[in-house]
């Protein structure tokens, strides 16, 4: 039984598909009421401001990403919940090894988003050892999905290109053409999240794991997209803030511990990713045109 929540009004397909409630991550009393009234046992905590958006509003990012996390940690510990909190490639910084990046290494991120996620990893691990909280965390690469619009992350170019290619055959990329970053299709992301949550506690050698599926640059993605839309026109207009963020992030993730401990295995490589995105977005576009 799953209850979804947000501070935004859900689209019809979400609202009519099952229970949906309003929840503000900064309202501690309401969060406790939700857990108690619905007898919650597992909690997936996705509330966060992403990298580029967070840099534009640091006070809000600090409140949502850090204060909101503290609320969730206290409630999860009080009610013995199994808690999942996603981390990110942004939890690493320019002094971290980038190719590959192991689970355990120096982490000195230079965004409020990255700092807040390192804080989440360490606080979750502390609550596990101090209070016995069943805290589980995955460091996500850039997540690519046809179901949602780009949300202010540095890797969002890899979603935007599909919408722009279908809409007008033109795409302007805000990162350099050779900027390599770890990426993953949404189905693999959800598969990994459920797998780590369902894994027996005894199989987990750590509380935070890297997960990976592929790494590519904008130019490599463009070439794959052009196999479907050969007339695509691409220009590069580099955003200095996003480029600086990307240059401080891993180029490849070492996720060997996840593959060993709880059997992580990805399904989608670059070609499968691009084909799947066009199959979904292309059919949606044709339906819209017919309507």
pLDDT tens digits, one per residue of 103-135: 999 999 999 999 999 999 999 999 999 999 999
Residue 291 has pLDDT above 50, yes or no: no
Q: Is residue 123 part of a domain?
A: yes
Residue 194 has pLDDT above 90, yes or no: yes
The set of residues, in sequence order, having a beta carbon less than 8 Å from that of 89 and lying 6+ positions away, is 101, 139, 140, 141, 142, 181, 182, 249, 250, 253
Q: Is residue 184 part of a domain?
A: yes
Distance CA 187, CA 50 (A): 20
Look at residues 209, 198, 205 and name the one whose alpha carbon lies nearest to residue 85. 209
pLDDT at 285: 53
Residue 287 has pLDDT above 90, yes or no: no
Higher pLDDT among residues 65 and 50, named by residue: 65
Active site residue ranges: 113
Structurally, how many domains does the chain consist of?
1
Claim: this prediction has a pTM higher than 0.95: no
Q: Spell out the long-range contacts of 274-279 with Cβ–Cβ below 8 A and sequence spacing 24 or more.
A: 274/221, 274/224, 274/225, 274/227, 274/228, 275/228, 276/146, 276/185, 277/144, 277/146, 277/162, 278/162, 278/166, 278/228
Domain that holds residue 144: 41-290
Q: Is residue 119 part of a domain?
A: yes
Q: Is residue 8 part of a domain?
A: no
Scan for tokens 């999860």, then name that residue.
76
pLDDT at 154: 85
Is 157:225 a contact under the CB 8 Å cutoff?
no
pLDDT at 283: 59
DSSP-derived secondary structure letter, 228: T
Structure token digits, residue 98: 């980038």
Q: Is residue 20 part of a domain?
A: no
Q: Provide the CATH number for the domain around residue 158.
A: 3.40.50.720
Distance CA 176, CA 180 (A): 9
Q: Is residue 131 part of a domain?
A: yes
Average pLDDT, rounded, for the chain? 94
Q: Is residue 29 part of a domain?
A: no
Mean per-residue pLDDT, 73-96: 97
Q: Is residue 3 part of a domain?
A: no
């Amino acid at each position: 039984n799953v209850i979804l929540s947000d501070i935004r009004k859900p689209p019809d397909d979400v609202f009519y598909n099952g229970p949906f409630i309003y929840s503000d991550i900064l309202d501690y009393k309401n969060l406790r009421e939700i857990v108690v009234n619905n007898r919650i046992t597992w909690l997936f905590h996705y509330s966060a401001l992403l990298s580029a958006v967070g840099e534009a509003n640091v006070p809000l990012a600090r409140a949502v990403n850090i204060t909101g996390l503290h609320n969730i940690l206290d409630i999860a510990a009080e009610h013995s919940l199994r808690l999942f909190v996603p981390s990110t490639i942004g939890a690493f910084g320019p002094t971290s090894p980038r190719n590959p990046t192991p689970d355990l290494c120096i982490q000195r991120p230079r965004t409020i988003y990255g700092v807040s996620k390192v804080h989440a990893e360490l606080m979750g691990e502390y609550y596990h050892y101090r209070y016995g909280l069943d805290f589980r965390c995955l460091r996500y690469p850039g997540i690519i999905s046809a179901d949602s619009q780009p949300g202010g992350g540095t890797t969002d170019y890899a979603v935007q290109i599909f919408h722009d290619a279908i809409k007008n055959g033109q795409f302007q990329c805000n990162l350099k053409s050779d900027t390599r970053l770890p990426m993953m299709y949404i189905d693999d992301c959800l598969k990994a999240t459920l797998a780590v949550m369902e894994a027996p506690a005894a199989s987990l050698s750590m509380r935070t794991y890297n997960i990976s599926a592929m790494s590519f640059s904008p130019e490599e993605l463009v070439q794959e997209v052009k196999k479907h839309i050969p007339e695509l026109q691409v220009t590069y207009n580099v955003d200095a803030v996003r480029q600086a963020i990307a240059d401080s992030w891993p180029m490849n993730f070492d996720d060997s511990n996840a593959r060993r401990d709880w059997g992580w295995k990805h399904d989608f490589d670059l070609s499968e990713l691009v084909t799947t995105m066009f199959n979904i977005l292309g059919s949606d576009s044709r339906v819209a045109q017919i309507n």
